[in-house]
Amino acid sequence: MAAPVIHTIVLNWRTPDMTLRAVEAALAAMEGLAGGITVVDNDSRDGSFERLSAALAGQDRVRVIQSGRNGGFGAGNNAGIRAGLPGGAVPDLVYILNSDAFPAPDAIRALAEDLAAHPRAGLAGSLIHGEDGATHLTTFRFPSIASEFEEGARFGPVSRLLAARRVPLDTPGRACEVDWLAGASLMIRRAVLEEVGGFDETFFLYFEETELCLRARRAGWTTRFVPGSRVAHIGSVSTGMKDWARVPEYWFDSRRHYFRKSHGAAFAAAADVARVAGGLVHRARNLARGRRADDPPHFLRTLVRHSRDSARRARRPDPSARA
């Protein structure tokens, strides 16, 4: 069997120095593997494109392209997928690597070998760890109405009762199937992209890899966690999530789009009710103990507003349907 051709994509948004470090690690991990690397600047408009182009000009296996617009994580990576490999070679595998993620020398090979050993596996992801070596939680179940209530309530008896529905999945100690994986280091078969399409560009950030893994699952493909592929990850460099004062609007937009697209409007509404009900349980418990709720500021209020606005839009007549 011929060795697979791998197309590694690194998406940059205003982190050129970090991106160069990720590319350097990816080049080392691509040693002995067929393929190349595309760096996509996601319309940074801060000199990133010029900086990256100049720094990587001498690398035959790397090219830098401009997305032309900042459509978010999925849109930027789709731009790299559509651009393809330099020279027109058709990849067998597409490897998505965050600009703040640094694969070990054998990390990319380990993912490719696991996919080769499991023909119905369509996606495979790495064990992600911090620069201090601490494992990051990146293995998950698909969200459900029950998991929304559990996540909102954060109450021991509820969490134990709904343990089999909780979204976070304790990091497995061996390679295995999971529902979905964080997209910091994710390899995808070209056959999957051809069958189900790439990332849904309606998502700006968050839930896009969840929805892609669900689409693949429904088409008969599995997603695998491969702990033998290790990738160091700083995390939240481009999004600034660690410094959020409150959850941004696009997170709520992505959550709503995921539930409505994947399960329908009624399910999405029920998921909203479950999350608010769980949040009220959490707040009541904290109030009784004289503590503040752990939610970010205005979280429940914003969720209720998004749910209400979504319901209003769904009830609004479609002008195109008029005679």
pLDDT for residue 49: 98
Domain final residue pick, 241, 259, 289 = 241
Alpha helices in the chain (DSSP H): 16-29, 48-55, 73-83, 107-117, 145-153, 156-161, 190-196, 208-218, 249-263, 265-288, 299-315
Q: Do 121 and 256 belong to one domain?
A: no
CA distance 307 to 267: 12
Helical axes 48-55 vs 16-29, angle rounded to 10° = 30
Mean pLDDT of 130-159: 96
320 belongs to a structural domain: no
pLDDT for residue 313: 76
* Structural tokens at position 17: 């120095």
299 belongs to a structural domain: yes
Q: Do 266 and 181 belong to one domain?
A: no
Q: Do 109 and 227 belong to one domain?
A: yes
User: Residue 95's domain spans which residues?
Assistant: 5-135+171-241
52 belongs to a structural domain: yes
- Say whether pLDDT at 320 is over 90: no
Q: Do 55 and 180 belong to one domain?
A: yes
Q: Do 237 and 260 belong to one domain?
A: no
As for how many domains the chain has, the answer is 2
Q: Do 95 and 180 belong to one domain?
A: yes
- Say whether pLDDT at 249 is over 50: yes
Residue position matching structure tokens 């035959």: 60
- Say whether pLDDT at 111 is over 50: yes
* Structural tokens at position 181: 């994986």
Pairing of strands 34-41, 5-12: parallel
pTM above 0.85? yes
User: 244 pLDDT band (50/70/90 cuts)?
Assistant: low
CA distance 210 to 55: 34
Q: Which tens digit of pLDDT belongs to each residue from 253-300? A: 999 999 999 999 999 999 999 999 999 999 999 999 999 888 888 999
Q: Do 285 and 175 belong to one domain?
A: no
323 belongs to a structural domain: no
Domain final residue pick, 203, 221, 241 = 241
Domain final residue pick, 200, 218, 241 = 241
Q: Do 59 and 109 belong to one domain?
A: yes
Q: Do 48 and 113 belong to one domain?
A: yes
Q: Do 253 and 235 belong to one domain?
A: no
Mean of the per-residue pLDDT values for the chain? 93
Q: Do 126 and 221 belong to one domain?
A: yes
145 belongs to a structural domain: no
235 belongs to a structural domain: yes
pLDDT for residue 236: 60
89 belongs to a structural domain: yes
User: 317 pLDDT band (50/70/90 cuts)?
Assistant: low
Q: Do 122 and 209 belong to one domain?
A: yes
157 belongs to a structural domain: no
Q: Which residues contact 2 (CB under 8 A, 6 or more apart)?
A: none
| Of the candidates 137, 78, 105, 103, the residue with the CA atom closest to the CA atom of residue 21 | 103
Mean pLDDT of 135-159: 97
Q: Which residues contact 160 (CB under 8 A, 6 or more apart)?
A: none
User: 322 pLDDT band (50/70/90 cuts)?
Assistant: very low
Q: Which CATH number covers residue 122?
A: 3.90.550.10
Alpha helices in 177-242 (DSSP H): 190-196, 208-218
Q: Which tens digit of pLDDT belongs to each residue from 73-101? A: 999 999 999 999 977 889 999 999 999 99
Q: DSSP for 84-128?
A: --GGGPPPSEEEEEETTEEE-TTHHHHHHHHHHH-TTEEEEEEEE
Q: Which tens digit of pLDDT belongs to each residue from 41-50? A: 999 999 999 9
